[in-house]
Amino acid sequence: MTEVQIAYLAGFFDGEGTIGIYTDNGSRYVVRISLSNTSKESVYLFKQYFGGCVFTQKRNEQKPTWRTVYRWQIGNTQADRFFEIITPYLRLKYRQAKLAIQFRARRNPLERLGKKRRLDEADRLLMSIYNGRCNIK
């Protein structure tokens, strides 16, 4: 991937993408990255370069002017590679990306804990990151 392609994808992601931390079946937290758009070609560029899945949401029959939406999604390990490549080029989502990277780096020790304690510790970690007790540069 060229630097121009990375910059293009980062700009597109800044405008159309999301970075989130979610519970996976209530037992652990996962980082999930997604991007939605009506341009099939643009969404499939992300799948081509970073893997993941593309979901299609057909237009609503009651809203005939609405177009089909394509949603690309990756999580955890694939997210690590995505962040490594894209983060330096992000502007609007730079802080969110750094928070997700930090969460991914610090959550591994939590995997050894029991389910209830793991969720409690992950909640505390998320709150400390969110409240600015962790350095984001």
Reported as a single tens digit per residue, the pLDDT across 56-67 is 988 776 677 788
pLDDT of residue 134: 47
pLDDT of residue 136: 46
In angstroms, the CA 115 to CA 98 distance is 26
- Does the pTM surpass 0.85? The reply is no
Neighbours of 119 (CB within 10 A): 17
Superfamily, domain 3-130? Homing endonucleases (3.10.28.10)
pLDDT of residue 2: 94
Task: Determine which of 16-20, 23-27, 40-44, 130-134 has the lowest per-residue pLDDT on average.
Answer: 130-134
In angstroms, the CA 29 to CA 33 distance is 13
In angstroms, the CA 121 to CA 112 distance is 11
| Mean pLDDT, all residues of the chain | 82
Report whether pLDDT(72) > 90.
yes
